[in-house]
Each structure stands twice: as structure tokens, then as C-alpha cells.
């Protein structure tokens, strides 16, 4: 409805009169123009009434806490300035992530500052009972908590307490205990729901070793790593920890490096980092694992296991000789045999390799069988107890299974659930559509949701109780046995929310009687303290509790090494049977692979603009959903890239653009999970599709897990082009030599071309004090995007949105480029972080008419925003395409603007910007050194990207200091400059990726 026909009484022009209207309109224009020039009111300084101790305005305070973006439980250090969190980094002392964070962890700030957070309690008010219309309306906290109390009391009074169900995510430590105590006091059922709960993994552990657990993996110790679909660089178990371990094993030492082979139908980010990617047919990974066991036993290469067990296992795998399975898996028998030999090298001894399984590829009807095969493979190679340790088990062992959720849906549908209490779970979105959670929710008379975002489940609730975000909350987490991380509020709550623990205790007290008596008194903070008092007495520490607590808070928690426990093979293993995955739908139709997204996990990250804006590392697509198919499949369908297709299974259907991807087994349709929200906020709602609606809701028989790989789908092209915005047009680098590789053999033999010496007509720059430089090791860069998110957070980089991305626009100062060049030399995928190269002979500097960009005497290519007039000559003359122009005034919707780093100028429209090597950190490092009256040390200055890199691929430092790590790396034979032939003399040295041909060993000497 436009302004001109507003109102109920006919068009406005008619009512006001045309001439009057035009007069008014004419008068309005200069008025608006004048108001734009009106004086800005004077700025106010509002000092504290009572200043906090130890707080200096403008000086950062760091708090240690724990990341809650996924159950991995990484340690976090949060930088706060003047009472607000501006940056999160990994906690260096934490045993899980050792100072690193992934892209989701970096974006945790956008959960805190989510502009669509619920502000204040809401209750559903019926607007029109006949039409079934109702809406959530604000209600005072007192009424909201009384409403929940009344409902719970009603249910309990009539002896129907078992009709109360509480669904939380996988919680650990104190909050988990409190929820348990609360549920027990009420007599309610409780579920710990995680969409990715590793049920098959745990079932396999039970079958093989009689132990319901997810072992701890030491990737750093594995010389040979074989993954059957486990996307450990994306979402599998503990990604930051595994990325770190993987990089450590991969790093070249004495001419040797580890070897990683990935078996999966799709070239995922993890597969892209493999030395060899074996594209299997979906659901057949189990056969590869069994054939490897077969070879190891047949060739007598098994290690440290008794003869009786050898016989048992040999009988089990007898039908799975490599020749017998090659045809079904699509992987040649010889490849499998070689892989098995590499995996069980008798010279290396036991426990030097590791097999892992998981991800969507290992989540079919045979998921448990696949995990059993992987366990057996580790067992025969002597890896159980070394690289795969039971003892420091991951907390996943305690999650509810998907079958528990399916049972809940059945009881909801049967009207057996009277009160459903959810806490930060979104089953409407994450459960398969055909399971009918959405419809069953309608049969529940009262749904209360503790949540700070209006997700699909919360939007259906009768009562919404907004919770503090993790960064505003007290708490603790226990991601694996022996590690207890603490959470502390890093700032005052932004909005009218409460701690969920406080609400539970409050409601408990309101219920009175036995419930109140069964629950602890006081608030959650007091309860947390009592839990830690118990830990204090266990620790038998000499320190007082107050000292113990203060020390633990400062450190971020407490941790101790847990020894690996010895496990033995269960006799029941002999009864195992192994089959390939069963897939519903028409035989021969494409198989659906819905895969968890690196950015959104199970969809919980979808309302974070950084995660939407940063392109997916493999497809380079952003702000959308897509269906990946092999070119042959696309041809068979008669569809081209960018065409909208209808994907339909027996359980649901959706329309999604096609994205042709050559790195996929033909006959597979891969769709990322995480988009397709109906609710959840401005960045998520109505964007993309949710492939979970397509899958078969029946759980996997043995483990009760969700079967992500369960259906064949009908793909019908539609006559509509809907291309997805993609930030990199081609995966070819056309001999440009941007991302270079060297073979391990050449490197060890010293067969490397020496770079051409630089010649120049210009005089060289002088760098009297420092010369800042960077080294980026392409061999340990996994392309995980964590650095990109860190850069957005640190440098106030604005988000441009989907529309602008269609025009190939982005403001990212740092991007990951991906090239695929399969060759005889080995792995084809190359990732290269591309950022301002801070050239000594910078092409951008010479063309700036106003000296806005120039070379500083510390080797930085400076960009002075207040001098820039926006000619964009510099951007056009930059061969690296790393300069970004502000075509529009950046927008940081309230309260996202509170995240802006006050140490970095927020740029405005018409200004060019680019990577500064985090000059604010350089200045801070220099100032600190000066305060301490010492020279700047190596490691004093760490840019945001280098700080968070899970693979530690980025090293920054002073090239004038010959002892600095960056200077040392610069001497490596692998070093090269991108476009060195242009003689730009970049300050960034890339180290070539080391590749080795398929079938190569670890080059063990």
C-alpha cells in the first residue's frame, strides 16, 4: 500500500486536494534537506556514579568463560571494553582448544547482540478463538512465572506429573544437575536433545567394548588418519581440538608428514584437506572399512591383539575381501589394499594410525555397523587406548537418542503430554518433518520455552521466558571427563532476560512443599558455588575455597589428565552383521545427503549475519541454500547450474537452486542443513530450505539415531533460474600460480625453483624499527573460515547482504580462495587466505591522488580513511583484489553496534578500506612494550586472524628481527610470494602446500 492510497476514505490526493498536496510535498523537500544540515547536539560525557574498581575506561578487561555454540566446550577469553563484550578469542590455557576458536565460536558475539533477541517475557493471548488466531504478547515476569507455576501445579495435583516433559540440549555439569533435580522434584520426564547425538557411535562402542561412550581422539598422534565421512574440520565432535591435532600431525618434521585419507561421496571441507579423497557410493563406507580389516588380518598385520580375537574378527569380515566390495563401493580393490597396508604399518608399531567415522555419510540404516567396522579397524591396528582413548570420554555419551525424541512425539500426539518445557532447543526445525513434531505440538495444552531467540519451537510456545545468553550467564561445562570449564557473565544482561537456573529455582520455590524442599535454596550462582565447593574438597587443595574459586575463574576452569582405560573386545561382537545402507524411494534415483553446515551447525547459527555473509568454504556460496549435484547428474536431469529444482522424497518436498559441483559422486544430491527457517530473526527467516523435511523419520534400528542418509529423491527442474550468490566464479586458477604446491619428494630432494631476484627502479623502503610481515602455511590452512569471522569481529567489517553479493560485492578484508587442480601430484584442493599483501612496491600507493594510502616506515600499507576521497583507483590497481569500497553507509542494527571495536574506526560511505594487519594491535603491543621499558618481543602482536587459526597456519611478526618465527619461516624453501613476478614485494610469504601422489606413504624413514 503506498502513501498515495493510504487510509480508508479513498486516495489521499482526493481528500487533501491535489494542489494542497503538491504544495506540501514541495515544502517538505527543503525542510528535509535543512534538517540534514542541522547542528549536531553537543556530545555528552557521562561518568560513573560509583566507578568499578580495577576498570579504566578504554582499557580492555578480559574474562575467561566457555563457548556454548556447540557441545565441544572450548575455552573462551572475552575482551570487554567499558562494560561490553567486543571480541571473543580462545583461551590459551584450555586443554580443548588451546587458544583457538572456529567460525561459530567467533560469531558467538552475534548471539549476544542478536538484534532479534526476545526482550521480556511473553504469553500467548488468544485473539480470535474461532479462527485459532493468537499471538505472543509481553507480560510481566511475575505473571509469566506464576503462569508456569500454575500449570505445573495443576499437572502435579492430579497425579499427572509424568505428563510434564522437559527438553534441554546436551547440558553438562551444574546446570544439567539442576535440571535433573528440578525434573526429579516435579516427577517429570527429561530429555537431552542434540540433533547430532552420535547414537550409532555409542551403540557401536557398546557392541564392541561394552561401553556407552564416545572416545577421545588424539589426531596429533596419528601418522595415518582415515575418515569415513567424519567431518572433523566442520562439525564432528570437537572441531577446534581436532583441527589443531590434525595440523600438528600434518606439519612437516624431518621430511615426514602424516597422511589423511577421507572416504565420503562428497568433497566436503574435511575431504578437501585429505591427501586422498575416495569418493564412495553413499552408504558403502562400511564395506571399505571391513575390507581394510580383512586385508590387515589376512596379511597378518594386526597388532597387539590375541589370536582368539583375530579368528573372531576374521570370521566376521570374511565376506568383505577388497575384490568383493570394490564394485559396490566404487573404490578399486587395490586402493583399499594399499590403504589397509598403510594403516597397519608393522614397522611403525601399534597405535600410529587412526580411523574415525561419522557425518552424514555414516548415518544411514547401517550407521551402527559402520561405526563397529571403524572400531574394529582401530582395534586391529592397535589404536584403541592410544589414538582412540576410552576414559576421557566426550559428554555426548549422555545425550538422549533420536528415538527418545520420536517416542516423545508419539506421546505428544497421543495427548499424553500436558506440559512441555523446552530450553534452547528447536525440534520443530531440527526433527524430520515427517516425524510430525510440529503437528504433535498442537496437542500439547501448554508449552513453555526458555529461549532468547524466537525460533520455530519458541514461536509455537504458550509462554516464552527469555534467558540470558551464555556470555551473560554463570555456569560450567564438562565437554569430556577431566575437563571442567567455567562460564562467567562478561557483561550485564542486555535485555530483560533471566538465567534459566534462577527461573527453575524460582518456580520450584513457588510450587512449595516437596518440590521446594528437594531443590537447593538461593540462586543459581549459589548452586554453582556449592558444586565447586564439592570439587574443591575433591581436589584436596591446600588453598581456601575462595582462592581456589578465584584461580579457577581466572584460568577458565579446572582440568586434569584422565588416563586411557583399557577396554576389551566384547564376545557379542561375533553376532554382528554388516550391510550397506538402505535407501527409501525409487531405485536408481539420486540419493539425498543433507550435511551439517560449517557455519550454522544444526541451524542455530542462521541468524548471525557474519555466518550468512562469509561464503561457504567449498561452494563459495552465501546467504542461501543449494542442492549440489555432479555434472553428469545435472545432465541426466536436464538441468543447469542456478536452475530451481523441486526435490521430493516420500516424506516431503522443497524447491532449491541447483549448484553443479564436479566433486561429488554422481547420483547424489547434497543439501546443507541450517537454512530454511520460518522464524528465528531477520537474517534467517525465509531464507533457503531445510533439507531435514525430506528424510525418513524412522530411527536407525540398532542405535535409535536419526537416519540423515535415508532417502532417494525425485529431482524435477523448474523453468526458473534462481542462482545462488557465489563469491568465487571459478575453481580454476588458470596458471596464475596463486595457490602453489610442491611434492613431498621434490621438497625432500631439494628440487625447488629458486624465486627470481627482485629488481627495482625505485629506491628500497627503509624500515628502521620494525618491518611487519606474515607467513601463511598453505599446508596447515584448512580453509575453515575462522580467520575471516575473527577479522569481521575485530575490524568492524560491515555486512552487505545477499542482494549486494549477487553483484559480487563483499566487504571482507580477508577471504579464503579455493582452487581445485587434480593432478598426478596428489590432492587437488588448495585453500589460500587472501588479504592485503602490504607490498613494498604497492601498486595501490602510486595511484592515490590524495596520499590516503602510503607505505609506513614499519612496512604497512596504510589506508587513512579521513584522507580518502573514494576515487577507487587503488582498488582498481590492486592485483590481489583485496581493497573494499563502501558504496553504502554501513548498517549495524541495534544492538549489533555495541559489538563494534572502539579501537578501530567504523568507516563510512565513500571510503576505501582493507586489511591493516590489525594495526590497532600493533600500536597496543608497541605501547605495552614501551610501558614495560623493553623492546617489542616476538608474539607481542598477534592479528585477529592469526590468533584464532585452528591450524596455526598464520604467523605474524617483525621481519627485522631475525629470530622471529615469521623471519624463520621466511627462509623455508617452500616460501613464495603471490604474483611475485609483478615485483610488488609483498610482506606476506606463503608456504607452498605439500602434496604427495595417491598411494604414497608417510615417507617414514
Residue ranges in 4-33 that form contacts with another protein under rule CB under 8 A: 6-8, 12, 15-16, 24-25, 27-28, 30-32
Question: Is 758 or 930 the residue whose CB approaches another protein more closely?
Answer: 930
- Choose, by CB under 8 A, the member of 522, 686, 822, 939 that binds another protein: 686
Closest CA to 402 of 378, 371, 437: 437
- Choose, by CB under 8 A, the member of 192, 211, 484, 687 that binds another protein: 687
Rounded CA-CA distance 939/579 in Å is: 53
Give the footprint of another protein on residues 324-383 (CB under 8 A).
none
Q: Is 851 helix (H, G, I), strand (E, B) or coil?
A: coil
Is residue 178 a contact residue for another protein (CB under 8 A)?
Answer: no
Question: Is 388 or 656 the residue whose CB approaches another protein more closely?
Answer: 656
Q: Which residues contact 642 (CB under 8 A, 6 or more apart)?
A: 657, 658, 659, 721, 722, 723, 724
Shortest approach of another protein to residue 857 CB, angstroms? 6
Is residue 919 a contact residue for another protein (CB under 8 A)?
Answer: yes
Is residue 38 a contact residue for another protein (CB under 8 A)?
Answer: yes
Span of 305-313, 490-498, 913-921, 962-970 interacting with another protein by CB under 8 A: 913-921
Rounded CA-CA distance 497/15 in Å is: 47
Mask for 699-718, x = binds another protein (CB under 8 A): --------------------
Is residue 860 a contact residue for another protein (CB under 8 A)?
Answer: yes
β-pair type (993-995, 741-743): parallel
Asked whether the bond before 380 is cis by omega within 30 degrees of 0, the reply is: no
Q: Which residues pair with residue 913 across a beta bridge?
A: 884
Question: Is 625 or 837 the residue whose CB approaches another protein more closely?
Answer: 625
Is residue 842 a contact residue for another protein (CB under 8 A)?
Answer: no
Shortest approach of another protein to residue 768 CB, angstroms? 11
DSSP H or E segment with residue 747: helix 744-749
Give the footprint of another protein on residues 49-88 (CB under 8 A).
49-51, 56-59
Give the footprint of another protein on residues 601-630 (CB under 8 A).
624-625
Span of 39-47, 84-92, 417-425, 438-446 interacting with another protein by CB under 8 A: 39-47
Question: Is 81 or 535 the residue whose CB approaches another protein more closely?
Answer: 81
Is residue 737 a contact partner of residue 917, using CB atoms and an 8 Å limit?
A: no
Rg (C-alpha) for the chain, rounded Å, is 29
| Alpha helices (runs of H) in 432-494, residue ranges in sequence order | 437-441, 456-459
Shortest approach of another protein to residue 657 CB, angstroms? 6
Shortest approach of another protein to residue 659 CB, angstroms? 11
Set of cell numbers at residue 224: 595415518
Q: Torsion over CA of 879, 882, 887 and 893, rounded to 10 degrees?
A: 170
Q: Is 208 helix (H, G, I), strand (E, B) or coil?
A: helix
Shortest approach of another protein to residue 10 CB, angstroms? 10
Is residue 916 a contact residue for another protein (CB under 8 A)?
Answer: yes
Span of 35-43, 87-95, 111-119, 873-881 interacting with another protein by CB under 8 A: 35-43
Question: Is 329 or 624 the residue whose CB approaches another protein more closely?
Answer: 624
Rounded CA-CA distance 845/834 in Å is: 19
Rounded CA-CA distance 898/540 in Å is: 43
- Choose, by CB under 8 A, the member of 351, 358, 688, 951 that binds another protein: 688
Span of 36-44, 71-79, 191-199, 329-337 interacting with another protein by CB under 8 A: 36-44
Question: Is 922 or 995 the residue whose CB approaches another protein more closely?
Answer: 922
Span of 37-45, 245-253, 412-420, 836-844 interacting with another protein by CB under 8 A: 37-45
Rounded CA-CA distance 948/77 in Å is: 11
Distance of CA 988 to the CA centre of its chain: 27
Give the footprint of another protein on residues 498-537 (CB under 8 A).
none
Span of 2-10, 532-540, 576-584, 609-617 interacting with another protein by CB under 8 A: 2-10
Q: Which residue has the cell 499427572?
A: 160
Is residue 409 a contact residue for another protein (CB under 8 A)?
Answer: no
- Choose, by CB under 8 A, the member of 714, 722, 809, 872 that binds another protein: 722
- Choose, by CB under 8 A, the member of 119, 678, 758, 927 that binds another protein: 927
Set of cell numbers at residue 910: 565513500
Is residue 866 a contact partner of residue 850, using CB atoms and an 8 Å limit?
A: no
Is residue 657 a contact residue for another protein (CB under 8 A)?
Answer: yes
Give the footprint of another protein on residues 92-111 (CB under 8 A).
none
Question: Is 566 or 930 the residue whose CB approaches another protein more closely?
Answer: 930
Is residue 864 a contact residue for another protein (CB under 8 A)?
Answer: yes
Is residue 285 a contact partner of residue 778, using CB atoms and an 8 Å limit?
A: no
Distance of CA 696 to the CA centre of its chain: 26
Question: Is 464 or 644 the residue whose CB approaches another protein more closely?
Answer: 644
- Choose, by CB under 8 A, the member of 47, 159, 300, 750 that binds another protein: 47
Q: Is 772 helix (H, G, I), strand (E, B) or coil?
A: strand
Q: Which residues contact 41 (CB under 8 A, 6 or more apart)?
A: none
Question: Is 576 or 661 the residue whose CB approaches another protein more closely?
Answer: 661
Closest CA to 88 of 114, 106, 71: 106
Shortest approach of another protein to residue 582 CB, angstroms? 31
Give the footprint of another protein on residues 748-777 (CB under 8 A).
none
Is residue 769 a contact partner of residue 935, using CB atoms and an 8 Å limit?
A: no
Is residue 577 a contact residue for another protein (CB under 8 A)?
Answer: no
Is residue 802 a contact residue for another protein (CB under 8 A)?
Answer: yes
Is residue 36 a contact residue for another protein (CB under 8 A)?
Answer: no
- Choose, by CB under 8 A, the member of 311, 533, 560, 923 that binds another protein: 923
Is residue 2 a contact residue for another protein (CB under 8 A)?
Answer: yes
Q: What angle do CA 479, 483, 489 make, to 5 degrees?
A: 75
Question: Is 19 or 971 the residue whose CB approaches another protein more closely?
Answer: 19
Shortest approach of another protein to residue 342 CB, angstroms? 43
Q: Which residue has the cell 573494499?
A: 884
Is residue 644 a contact residue for another protein (CB under 8 A)?
Answer: yes
* 3-class SS string, 82-119: CCEEEEEEECCCCCCCCCCCCHHHHCCHHHHCCCCECC
Span of 336-344, 398-406, 918-926, 959-967 interacting with another protein by CB under 8 A: 918-926
Set of cell numbers at residue 512: 512449595
Is residue 846 a contact residue for another protein (CB under 8 A)?
Answer: no
Total residues interacting with another protein, rule: CB under 8 A: 72
Q: Torsion over CA of 837, 842, 848 and 853, rounded to 10 degrees?
A: 50
Q: Is 794 helix (H, G, I), strand (E, B) or coil?
A: helix
- Choose, by CB under 8 A, the member of 373, 693, 724, 744 that binds another protein: 724
Is residue 807 a contact residue for another protein (CB under 8 A)?
Answer: no
Is residue 899 a contact residue for another protein (CB under 8 A)?
Answer: no
- Choose, by CB under 8 A, the member of 18, 19, 39, 347 that binds another protein: 39
| Alpha helices (runs of H) in 498-637, residue ranges in sequence order | 500-511, 513-518, 524-539, 545-555, 609-613, 631-637
Q: Which residues contact 719 (CB under 8 A, 6 or more apart)?
A: none
- 499: Cα within 13 Å, side-chain hemisphere: 23
* 3-class SS string, 584-622: ECCCCCCEEEEEEECCCECCCCCCCHHHHHCCCCCCCEC
Q: Put residue 750 in one of left, alpha, beta given phi > 0 → left and psi -120 to 50 → alpha.
A: left
Amino acid at each position: 500500500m503506498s502513501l498515495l492510497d493510504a487510509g480508508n476514505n479513498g486516495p489521499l490526493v482526493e481528500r487533501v486536494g491535489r494542489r494542497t498536496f503538491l504544495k506540501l510535498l514541495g515544502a517538505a523537500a527543503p525542510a528535509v534537506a535543512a534538517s540534514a544540515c542541522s547542528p549536531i547536539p553537543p556530545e555528552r560525557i557521562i561518568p560513573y556514579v560509583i566507578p568499578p574498581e580495577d576498570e579504566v575506561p578504554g582499557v580492555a578487561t578480559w574474562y575467561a568463560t566457555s563457548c556454548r555454540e556447540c557441545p565441544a566446550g572450548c575455552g573462551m577469553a572475552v575482551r570487554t571494553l567499558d562494560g561490553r563484550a567486543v571480541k571473543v578469542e580462545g583461551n590459551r590455557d584450555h586443554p580443548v582448544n588451546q587458544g583457538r576458536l572456529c567460525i561459530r565460536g567467533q560469531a558467538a558475539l552475534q548471539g549476544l547482540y542478536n538484534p532479534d533477541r526476545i526482550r521480556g517475557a511473553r504469553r500467548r493471548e488468544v485473539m480470535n478463538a474461532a479462527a485459532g488466531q493468537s499471538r505472543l504478547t509481553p507480560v510481566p515476569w511475575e505473571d509469566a512465572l506464576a503462569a508456569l507455576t500454575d500449570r505445573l501445579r495443576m499437572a502435579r495435583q492430579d497425579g499427572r506429573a509424568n505428563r510434564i516433559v522437559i527438553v534441554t540440549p546436551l547440558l553438562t555439569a551444574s546446570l544439567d544437575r539442576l535440571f535433573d533435580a528440578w525434573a526429579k522434584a516435579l516427577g517429570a520426564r527429561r530429555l537431552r536433545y542434540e540433533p547430532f547425538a552420535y547414537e550409532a557411535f555409542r551403540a557401536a562402542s557398546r557392541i564392541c567394548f561394552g561401553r556407552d561412550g564416545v572416545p577421545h581422539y588424539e589426531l596429533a598422534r596419528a601418522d595415518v588418519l582415515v575418515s569415513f565421512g567424519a567431518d572433523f574440520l566442520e562439525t564432528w565432535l570437537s572441531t577446534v581440538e581436532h583441527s589443531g591435532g590434525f595440523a600438528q600431525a600434518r606439519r612437516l618434521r624431518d621430511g615426514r608428514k602424516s597422511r589423511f585419507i577421507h572416504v565420503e561421496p562428497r568433497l566436503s571441507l574435511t575431504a578437501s584437506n585429505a591427501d586422498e579423497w575416495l569418493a564412495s557410493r553413499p552408504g558403502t563406507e562400511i564395506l571399505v572399512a571391513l575390507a581394510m580389516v580383512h586385508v590387515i588380518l589376512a596379511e597378518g598385520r594386526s597388532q597387539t591383539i590375541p589370536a582368539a580375537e583375530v579368528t573372531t574378527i576374521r570370521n566376521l569380515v570374511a565376506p568383505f575381501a577388497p575384490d568383493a566390495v570394490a564394485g559396490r563401493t566404487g573404490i578399486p580393490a587395490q586402493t583399499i589394499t594399499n590403504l589397509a597396508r598403510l594403516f597397519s604399518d608393522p614397522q611403525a608399531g601399534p597405535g600410529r594410525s587412526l580411523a574415525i567415522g561419522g557425518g552424514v555419510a555414516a548415518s544411514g540404516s547401517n550407521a551402527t555397523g559402520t561405526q563397529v567396522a571403524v572400531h574394529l579397524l582401530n582395534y586391529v591396528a592397535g589404536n584403541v587406548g592410544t589414538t582412540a582413548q576410552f576414559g576421557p570420554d566426550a559428554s555426548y555419551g549422555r545425550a538422549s537418542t533420536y528415538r527418545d525424541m520420536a517416542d516423545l512425539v508419539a506421546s505428544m500426539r497421543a495427548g499424553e503430554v500436558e506440559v512441555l518445557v523446552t530450553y534452547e532447543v528447536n525440534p520443530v526445525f531440527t526433527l524430520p518433518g515427517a516425524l510430525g513434531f510440529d503437528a504433535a505440538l498442537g496437542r500439547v495444552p501448554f508449552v513453555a520455552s526458555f529461549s532468547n531467540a524466537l525460533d520455530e519451537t519458541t514461536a509455537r510456545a504458550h509462554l516464552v521466558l527469555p534467558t540470558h545468553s551464555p556470555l551473560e550467564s554463570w555456569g560450567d561445562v564438562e565437554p569430556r571427563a577431566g575437563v571442567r570449564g567455567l562460564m562467567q557473565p562478561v557483561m550485564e544482561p542486555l535485555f530483560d532476560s533471566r538465567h534459566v537456573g534462577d527461573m527453575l529455582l524460582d518456580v520450584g520455590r513457588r510450587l512449595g512443599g516437596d518440590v521446594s524442599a528437594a531443590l537447593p535454596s538461593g540462586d543459581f550462582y549459589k548452586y554453582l558455588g556449592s558444586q565447586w565447593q564439592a570439587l574443591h574438597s575433591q581436589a584436596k587443595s591446600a588453598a581456601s575455597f575462595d582462592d581456589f574459586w578465584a584461580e579457577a575463574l581466572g584460568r577458565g576452569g579446572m582440568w586434569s589428565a584422565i588416563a586411557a582405560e583399557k577396554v576389551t573386545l566384547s564376545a557379542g561382537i561375533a553376532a554382528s552383521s554388516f550391510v550397506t545402507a538402505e535407501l527409501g524411494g525409487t531405485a536408481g534415483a539420486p540419493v539425498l545427503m543433507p550435511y551439517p553446515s560449517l557455519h550454522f551447525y544444526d541451524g542455530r547459527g542462521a541468524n548471525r549475519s557474519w555466518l550468512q555473509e562469509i561464503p561457504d568454504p567449498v561452494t563459495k556460496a552465501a546467504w542461501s541454500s543449494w542442492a549440489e549435484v555432479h555434472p553428469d547428474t545435472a545432465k541426466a536431469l536436464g538441468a543447469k547450474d542456478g536452475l530451481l529444482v523441486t526435490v521430493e522424497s516420500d516424506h516431503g518436498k522443497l524447491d532449491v537452486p541447483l549448484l553443479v559441483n564436479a566433486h561429488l559422486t554422481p547420483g547424489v544430491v547434497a543439501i546443507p542443513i541450517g537454512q530454511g527457517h520460518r522464524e528465528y530473526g531477520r537474517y534467517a527467516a525465509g531464507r533457503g530450505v531445510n533439507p531435514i523435511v525430506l528424510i525418513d523419520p524412522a530411527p536407525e534400528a540398532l542405535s535409535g539415531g536419526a537416519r540423515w542418509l535415508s532417502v532417494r529423491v525425485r529431482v524435477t527442474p523448474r523453468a526458473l533460474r534462481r542462482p545462488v550468490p557465489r563469491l568465487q566464479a571459478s575453481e580454476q586458477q588458470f596458471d596464475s600460480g596463486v595457490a602453489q604446491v610442491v611434492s613431498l619428494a621434490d621438497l625432500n630432494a631439494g628440487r625447488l625453483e629458486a624465486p627470481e631476484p627482485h629488481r627495482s627502479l625505485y629506491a628500497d623502503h627503509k624500515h628502521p624499527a620494525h618491518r611487519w610481515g606474515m607467513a601463511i602455511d598453505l599446508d596447515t590452512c584448512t580453509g575453515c573460515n575462522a580467520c575471516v569471522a575473527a577479522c569481521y569481529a575485530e575490524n568492524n567489517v560491515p555486512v552487505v547482504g545477499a542482494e549486494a553479493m549477487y553483484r559480487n560485492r563483499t566487504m571482507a578484508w580477508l577471504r579464503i580462495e579455493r582452487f581445485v587442480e587434480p593432478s598426478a601430484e596428489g590432492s587437488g584442493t588448495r585453500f589460500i587466505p587472501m588479504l592485503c599483501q602490504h607490498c613494498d612496491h604497492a601498486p595501490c600507493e602510486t595511484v592515490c591522488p590524495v596520499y590516503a594510502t602510503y607505505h609506513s616506515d614499519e612496512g604497512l600499507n596504510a589506508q587513512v580513511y579521513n584522507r580518502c576521497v573514494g576515487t577507487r583507483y587503488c582498488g582498481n590497481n590492486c592485483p590481489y583484489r583485496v581493497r573494499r569500497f563502501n558504496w553504502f553507509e554501513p548498517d549495524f542494527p541495534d544492538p549489533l553496534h555495541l559489538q563494534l571495536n572502539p579501537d578501530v574506526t567504523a568507516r563510512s560511505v565513500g571510503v576505501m578500506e582493507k586489511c591493516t594487519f590489525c594495526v590497532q594491535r600493533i600500536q597496543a603491543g608497541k605501547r605495552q612494550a614501551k610501558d614495560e621499558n623493553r623492546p617489542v618481543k616476538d608474539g607481542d602482536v598477534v592479528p585477529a586472524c592469526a590468533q584464532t587459526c585452528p591450524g596455526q597456519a598464520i604467523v605474524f611478526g617483525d621481519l627485522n628481527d631475525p629470530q622471529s618465527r615469521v623471519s624463520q619461516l621466511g627462509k623455508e624453501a617452500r616460501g613464495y610470494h603471490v604474483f611475485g613476478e609483478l615485483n610488488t614485494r609483498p610482506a606476506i610469504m606463503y608456504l607452498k602446500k605439500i602434496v604427495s601422489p595417491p598411494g604414497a606413504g608417510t615417507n617414514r624413514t
